[in-house]
Structure 1
Amino acid sequence: MTNFLNPIVLQRADPFVYRHTDGFYYFTGSHPLYDRIILRRAAHLNGLHDAPEYVVWKKHKSGPMSHLIWAPEIHRIKDKWYIYFAAAPNEEIEDDTFNHRMFVIENESDNPIKGKWIEKGEIKTEWPTFALDATTFEHKGIQYYVWAQQDLNIKGHSNIYIAEMDNPWTLSTRPAMLSKPELPWEIKGFWVNEGPSVLMKNEKVFITYSASATGPEYCMGMLTADANDDLLDPKSWTKSKEPVFQSYSPNNQFGPGHNSFTVSENGKEDILIYHARNYTEIDGDPLYDPNRHARAQKIQWDEGGNPIFSVPVPDERWTPRLPEVVTK
């Protein structure tokens, strides 16, 4: 049984953890200054808290990658490292949201902290609107790309889409929409489906995603498909009618979401990585409150082979409400 000293990393929202074959956990997430991409690595998830933090990329002075660097994810594809992230040319609001697009950088070295990162450009979809939170996974020899994007013909800020990839920076099929914000718990404050993450087990493919505004109402939903079905067919997917993970005041955990998945050191336990706050009194826009800390907890499984996320566990280490951004 793995015990976690939550929070495992302070002030790094949208946390993503990748466990590599070298035995290290690689961590990235949104820096609250929204101006850089960071990496940490440690042999244990608890070790990420005090691990050195490396800045591997910084925003441009101008242009499409010059503002609001959000939700990086690090992936290993065909012996190369890739970090997917969203960036905007400004901080203006158009069509009721920001102007983000999705980008990727590549590193050919064995160690992504020391190697050189090369910009591979924008991941272009079929229409130019607010797009973010990309993830990728391989299934039956096919590389898939899953992301959130706005469709101006659909009410809301973002929907969840999937497509196949020709290479790590190019889509090869038309996007298929898997989910849009429509249920009561998906439209609190904002109409949002975002932050997709993929978990494959028990001959099933699960996509979790986050919904509603980024305060205490933020929560996780889930899509489920049979591993043998056509993943590009929206009919292959079943959407949870209720949140699968949400705020739990008895444990002082609020707005859990934008998760990723990893495994325990022995590879036998599936681990949920997510961010949450331990208070609800937010001054100003929740987006700019820096204290969405990264947390981890073990996933249980039911008899039908579906994940049980339960409730967010209480913090194991004392965490003050930090008014300023922590940099390392």
Structure 2
Amino acid sequence: MIIKNPLVEQRADPFVYLHSDGYYYFTASVPEYNRLELRRAEHIHQLATTTEIVDVWHKPDTGAYSDLIWAPEIHYIDGTWAIYFAAAPNREIVNNAFQHRMYAITTQSDNPLTGEWSEPMQVDSGLSTFCLDATCYKNNGQWYYIWAQKDAVIPGNSCLYIATMDSPTTLSSAPVLLTKPEFDWEIRGFLVNEGPAILHRHGKIHLTYSASATDERYCIGVLSIDENADLMNTSNWAKSPNPIFETAEEKNIFGPGHNSFTTSKDGSKDYMIYHARNYKGIEGDPLWDPNRHACVQPIEWSEDGLPIWGTPQKEVEWIE
């Protein structure tokens, strides 16, 4: 099957999860930044047209999580569905738009579109600074929480941290710094490492992340580690000195980033889901430009088991 990009229009920070029930679950930032939208479909190409779309949570008018609802991810953690998202207090009250913290809502329902969700609970990293973009991953029996947060002494907007988890909303270790913005391609416009995502194949864990300003300079980097190494030991991670995925101007695909990963139904084929714009002449603040669209990119593998990221494509083949 040939899928034409974009897969879903005006959905930034896309996250796709293939569950054991055979459905692809999709969530992303909506242009209004005011709610958590969840949809599902039996086939990836149906995510754009499915009627199974539910707003599972709306922000309140005031309070700690009443503004700028960003980058949700849905995870299934030992029988509990959890949606993680970043949120800030109302800008009109605190007079500062970027006071985000991480929150989660949970449900034990088999179908998260019809389940009763909890009220948001803060996922406290132990660091009282701006944070966003959390993901979760289970390796060798242990759940890990990986997220972006501003460091009090490191210049820039955000670095990436990892901690162990003992429940969907509680961390069981102190944060460990994994990467900070340091290369030229990570500090264009803003000094940023954000949007972590995990790809695990052939004995290696690859942690992708996004860097720089959210215009055409936005791009993706990667850290890699052996699957049996201690994920909490920073020295075990190898960071690529170059971006692995970036603007393809000749194809009008600008600022690809903030990705997730999923697979074909049989698990044999890996795909990256990312957002990008189809132009670079953004008027005003890129944050309020609604045209970051969810796209699909197939991941190939080299003979030595390393991912071949390729370049952004207008059309991709999806293997059912």
| TM alignment of 1:1-328, pairs within 5 A | 2-52=1-51, 53-91=53-91, 98-314=98-314
Deviation at 1:119, TM superposition (A): 2.3
Q: What's the secondary structure of 1:185's corresponding residue?
A: helix
C-alpha separation in 1, matches of 2:315 and 2:217: 19
Q: What's the secondary structure of 2:14's corresponding residue?
A: strand
C-alpha separation in 2, matches of 1:241 and 1:91: 37
**Native 8 Å contact 1:97 1:130 kept in 2:** no
Q: Note the alpha carbon deviations across 1:107-127, whole angstroms, 9 max, x for none.
A: 111000001110251010122
State the AA in 1 paired with 2:309. F
Q: Which residue of 2 aligns with 1:326?
A: none
Moved more, 38-47 or 208-217: 38-47
Deviation at 1:105, TM superposition (A): 0.5
C-alpha separation in 2, matches of 1:5 and 1:117: 34
State the AA in 2 paired with 1:5. K
Deviation at 1:315, TM superposition (A): 5.6
C-alpha separation in 1, matches of 2:177 and 2:304: 26
**Native 8 Å contact 1:4 1:45 kept in 2:** no
Q: What's the secondary structure of 1:216's corresponding residue?
A: coil
Deviation at 1:97, TM superposition (A): 7.4
C-alpha separation in 2, matches of 1:267 and 1:247: 28
C-alpha separation in 2, matches of 1:271 and 1:315: 13
Aligned Cα root-mean-square deviation (Å): 1.6
Unpaired stretches in structure 1, ≥5 consecutive residues:
317-328
Moved more, 255-264 or 48-57: 48-57
C-alpha separation in 2, matches of 1:311 and 1:15: 18
Q: What's the secondary structure of 2:3's corresponding residue?
A: coil
TM (norm. structure 2) is 0.95
Report the identity percentage: 53
C-alpha separation in 2, matches of 1:119 and 1:103: 10
Q: Note the alpha carbon deviations across 1:207-251, whole angstroms, 9 max, x for none.
A: 000000000000000000011111000001010110000000111
Q: How many aligned residue pairs are there? A: 314
State the AA in 2 paired with 1:11. Q
Q: What's the secondary structure of 1:26's corresponding residue?
A: strand
C-alpha separation in 1, matches of 2:254 and 2:205: 27
Q: Note the alpha carbon deviations across 1:91-141, whole angstroms, 9 max, x for none.
A: 38x9x9710000000011100000111025101012210000000010111
C-alpha separation in 1, matches of 2:20 and 2:4: 24
C-alpha separation in 1, matches of 2:315 and 2:4: 7
State the AA in 2 paired with 1:165. M
C-alpha separation in 2, matches of 1:262 and 1:127: 31
Unpaired stretches in structure 2, ≥5 consecutive residues:
none
**Native 8 Å contact 2:192 2:212 kept in 1:** yes
